[in-house]
Amino acid sequence: MKKFNVKKFFVYFFLVIGALIMIFPFYWMIINSLKTAQDMTLYPPSWTPSNWFNFENYKVAFEKAPFALYFLNSIIVTISCLIITTFTTIMGAFAFSRLKFKGRDLIFSLLLGLMMVPFEMLVITNYMTVAKIGIIDTLFVLILPFTSSIFYTYILRNFFLSIPDSLYYSARIDGASNWKYLWRIMVPIAKPSLVTITILNAITCWNSFYWTLLVINSDAKRTLPYGLYAFMTEGGSDMKLMMAAATITIVPMIILFLFARKYIVNGVARGGLKG
């Protein structure tokens, strides 16, 4: 019995140490966002702010850069991406799993091949394309290239394939069209998969940086991660302001994570995060 407890002790011991290291940067971010200029000069750095309710840095950060606007832009872009991508994904996955047409398997294998092309390889041409369309430096340009995802379609198609054929045929005999069958029967059954896909997609959209860096110039069109980066390069060296701004960027994703941890973990375990 005693040996058992010793083992448990070590399990807890290492888990606590590991967990503390993993969340330490978040703790450090928050306490430094609450520090005063005087706190910041201390060395070794103090592990707590002198006043836990000093929100001055947030106020200054909001005054110096339009973080509320960046936040709104991020919300608009993320939600638009989610709605459109979910729609194209459902339609595509249905065609590839339930409908029969010539060349279906060939097209699908080609798509799987395309899945391993890194996004970084596509940006040059995509930049030229959106420049030609004339939508550089609009929010639209942050949405348009991400309306279809092979990866999510692949995950959802696999789920659709696991729904038994008999369900489909009985629905068809009852006179339901493919369209009705898809939206009334398949989509409700696939809800857990769809939630997972949507959340993974939301994280990717919200954190998107490389593409935004290339196609957005004006201040009013920045999203949070890019706005934060610009704030750093333009506003310079005041780290306590940076920490307040970083907290504003990160908190929405932390909240999402706390509520949807199971879906995120399952989604990652099943397919891996893309990117």
Read off the DSSP letter of residue 112. H
Does residue number 134 form part of the binding site for other proteins (CB under 8 A)?
no
| Total number of residues that touch other proteins (CB under 8 A) | 95
131 Cβ neighbours under 8 A, 6+ residues apart: none
Stretch that binds other proteins, among 54-62, 63-71, 110-118, 162-170 (CB under 8 A): 110-118
Task: Using the Cα atoms of residue 25, residue 31, residue 33 and residue 37 in order, give the sign of their dihedral.
Answer: negative
Of residues 11 and 220, the one with the C-beta less far from other proteins: 11
Q: Which DSSP string corresponds to 13-26?
A: HHHHHHHHHHHHHH
Of residues 161 and 254, the one with the C-beta less far from other proteins: 254
- Of 69, 72, 122, 185, the one binding other proteins (CB under 8 A) is 122
- Closest approach, Cβ 3 to other proteins, in A, equals 10
Q: Quick one: angle between helices 67-97 and 150-161, nearest 10?
A: 40
Residues 220-259 that bind other proteins (CB under 8 A): 224-226, 228-229, 232-233, 239, 242-243, 245-246, 249-250, 253-254, 256-258
Residues 75-104 that bind other proteins (CB under 8 A): 87-89, 91-92, 94-96, 99-101, 104
170 Cβ neighbours under 8 A, 6+ residues apart: none
Task: Return the residue matching tokens 């309710």.
Answer: 53
- Closest approach, Cβ 202 to other proteins, in A, equals 9
157 Cβ neighbours under 8 A, 6+ residues apart: 92, 93, 96, 97, 108
Site string for other proteins, 9-48 (x = CB under 8 A): --xx-xx--xxxxxx-xx-xx--x-------xxxxxx---
- Of 72, 148, 158, 185, the one binding other proteins (CB under 8 A) is 148
Of residues 14 and 52, the one with the C-beta less far from other proteins: 14
Residues 173-212 that bind other proteins (CB under 8 A): 175, 177-179, 203, 206-207, 209-210
Contact 222, 205 (CB under 8 A): no
DSSP run (H or E) holding 250:
helix 239-271
